[in-house]
Structure 1
Amino acid sequence: MGINRRDSGLTQQFDQISADKYEPVEPPQLDANSPTPISLTWEERGGAGEPITMATEPISVLAWVRYPKISTHVDGHALAWTRRAVYVEWQSRGVHRLWVWASAVDRL
């Protein structure tokens, strides 16, 4: 799959993501009441024994993202994955990146 052209601004920093730096990324909070999405833990995504595969280019996906009180579908990009989880990037008042369960992601 190619880059989703509707969100072309999302992946401009794709080449700058280091293979050992797949931590959640959040934009500066607009206000103190903005909820933060919940990423899988290091152990949930496979821990030290689980290899991470980097996408050669971002893959357009539809993913379920969990917040403290709700879940929502986001149009985004898969940047990397393990057997269990996918590192997803999407735009919502800034760029977000986090890990979700592989079963929560559908390729577009």
Structure 2
Amino acid sequence: MAGHEWDWFQREELIGQISDIRVQNLQVERENVQKRTFTRWINLHLEKRNPPIEVKDLFVDIQDGKILMSLLEVLTGQTLLTYLHHLLGLWQSQTFTHS
């Protein structure tokens, strides 16, 4: 009888391990779907730029901030470089007047 109990516990442990693997696989797949969806959404908006920009690998391509800046420019309709220069000028003026 003891051998049958051990088999039952081994079976339950194996089922638990299989369930854990399935959950992990579903999480990875969900993350991949979200990454592809967001990449498509970004590319849809970046097509409007002249010249258009295409994101191929989301996590690599956004690291330097240029893609995000371009996306913000398309979404807001403003040139961010000019806006950033204005902010820098204001910051420098304020720093100068406080020193």
Asked if Structure 1 and Structure 2 have the same fold, meaning a TM-score greater than 0.5 normalized by the shorter chain, the answer is no
- Determine which structure has greater relative contact order: mean sequence separation of CA pairs < 8 Å that are 6+ residues apart, divided by chain length: 1
Which structure dedicates a bigger proportion of its chain to helix?
Answer: 2
Q: TM-score range by the shorter chain?
A: under 0.3
Q: Could you state the TM-score of these two structures normalised by the residue count of structure 2?
A: 0.22
Normalising by structure 1, report the TM-score. Answer: 0.21
Write 1 or 2 for the structure with the bigger share of strand: 1
User: Which structure has the larger Rg?
Assistant: 2
